């Protein structure tokens, strides 16, 4: 990626170049100040024009109309989390959501969504098909935003979806089905007919569907048939400290792989300020560079231009990684850095040096 970015800007004289990074609709745009004029460059367009594929999770979560996307992977590989983030992103765009939940009731779904950053939702924008409580025989109070169904009876799920769709009264609805595993375990290969008659038909009316299926919970030929019936397939997998999202097929994107590092996000930043494991001289240089900006380059032999470029690269890369959580994390880190920066480090300018 770094090499590609240098290709994009290599035709501009570095002496005439200043970079600023902004984010519009989760798409990074690099503004190049050339001879006094700001020239916007769409990084995605530039990279794709050179034959490379660049896609983010945020793009995948913008499920296109008239499409059925299937997430397939082992339990715990991030399928439900992907769906929940998809719900939050599409609600922010005022897109109506019908959330079919088969693993727990709507109150728990709402709690998880709030933990992931969901704010107040306009009434009628988020509806639920509760296919959990009736399946397990639990008694719950009626909710005006919820229709009830039973995983043992696929027709009840179909009726509940149709009921909520009529109530919404428009196309462009996103149906999130989390997940197909329980209905499949109760009904077997009949789920294939349900996908065709209910989910695909729902998508064909100008809506969209994203559904999850646990791999290894049924016959491999049934899972292969479910993938064949879908317009898009994303395989999820965990590998050590990474989540892998393989785009097998997609209505808009080419096959690609997205890797996400999982684990405590703060660990790397905490180690940065661990005095026992940090070179004080290098830390002093880093702090001077942060405080003085263009006046102090970490590597003066290659010029301040590189010192100006890297923070912007890191920033919009972080926005691609987590467009909703990164700004909050950066704000919290900046506040803590103000306190931690009070620690005295040896001057990088040496004894008697002045800044």
Domain boundaries, the chain: 1-53, 57-253, 265-355
Query: What's the pTM?
Result: 0.63
Q: What angle do CA 109, 222, 153 make, to 5 degrees?
A: 50
Determine the topology of domain 57-253 in CATH: Rossmann fold (3.40.50)
Is 71 in a helix, a strand, or coil?
Answer: strand
Do residues 154 and 187 touch, judged by C-beta distance below 8 A?
A: yes
**Strand order through the sheet with 232-239:** 146-148, 126-130, 97-101, 174-178, 208-214, 67-73, 232-239, 242-249, 256-261
Do residues 214 and 74 touch, judged by C-beta distance below 8 A?
A: yes
Q: What angle do CA 57, 60, 63 make, to 5 degrees?
A: 145
Tens digits of residue pLDDT in 323-336: 767 677 766 666 66
Tens digits of residue pLDDT in 38-84: 444 343 443 343 344 457 788 888 999 999 999 999 998 999 999 99
pLDDT at 21 over 70: no
Both structure tokens of 35: 């001879």
Tokens 């009626």 belong to residue = 142
CB atoms within 10 A of CB 185: 14
Q: Residues 209-237: what's their mean pLDDT?
A: 95
Q: Identify the residue with better confidence: 303 or 20.
A: 303
Q: Residues 258-267: what's their mean pLDDT?
A: 64
CB atoms within 10 A of CB 189: 13
Do residues 336 and 272 touch, judged by C-beta distance below 8 A?
A: no
């Amino acid at each position: 990626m770094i090499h590609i970015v240098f290709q994009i800007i290599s035709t501009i004289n570095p002496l005439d170049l200043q970079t600023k990074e902004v984010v519009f609709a989760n798409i990074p745009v690099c503004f190049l100040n050339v001879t006094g004029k700001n020239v916007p460059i769409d990084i995605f367009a530039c990279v794709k024009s050179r034959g490379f594929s660049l896609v983010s999770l945020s793009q995948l979560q913008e499920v296109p109309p008239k499409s059925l996307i299937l997430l397939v992977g082992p339990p715990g590989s991030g399928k439900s989390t992907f769906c929940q983030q998809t719900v939050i992103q599409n609600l922010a765009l005022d897109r109506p959501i019908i959330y079919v939940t088969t693993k727990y009731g709507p109150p728990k779904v709402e709690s998880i969504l709030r933990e992931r950053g969901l704010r107040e939702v306009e009434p009628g924008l988020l509806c639920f098909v509760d296919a959990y409580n009736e399946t397990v025989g639990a008694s719950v109070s009626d909710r005006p935003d919820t229709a009830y169904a039973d995983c043992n009876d696929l027709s009840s799920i179909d009726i509940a979806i149709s009921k909520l769709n009529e109530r919404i009264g428009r196309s462009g609805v996103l149906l999130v089905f989390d997940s197909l595993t329980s209905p499949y375990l109760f009904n077997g290969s009949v789920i294939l007919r349900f996908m065709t008659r209910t989910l695909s038909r729902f998508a064909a009316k100008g809506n969209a569907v994203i559904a999850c299926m646990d791999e290894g919970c049924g016959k491999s030929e049934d899972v292969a048939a479910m993938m064949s019936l879908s317009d898009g397939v994303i395989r999820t997998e965990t590998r050590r400290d990474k989540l892998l999202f393989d785009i097998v097929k997609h209505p808009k994107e080419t096959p690609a792989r997205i890797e996400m590092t999982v684990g405590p996000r703060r660990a790397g930043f905490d180690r940065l300020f661990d005095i026992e494991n940090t070179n004080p001289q290098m830390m002093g240089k880093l702090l001077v560079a942060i405080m003085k900006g263009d006046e102090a380059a970490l590597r003066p032999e290659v010029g301040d231009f590189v010192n100006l470029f890297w923070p912007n690269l890191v920033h919009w890369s972080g926005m691609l990684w987590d467009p909703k959580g990164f700004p909050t994390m950066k704000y919290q880190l900046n506040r803590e850095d103000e306190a931690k920066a009070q620690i005295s480090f040896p001057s990088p300018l040496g004894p008697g040096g002045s800044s």
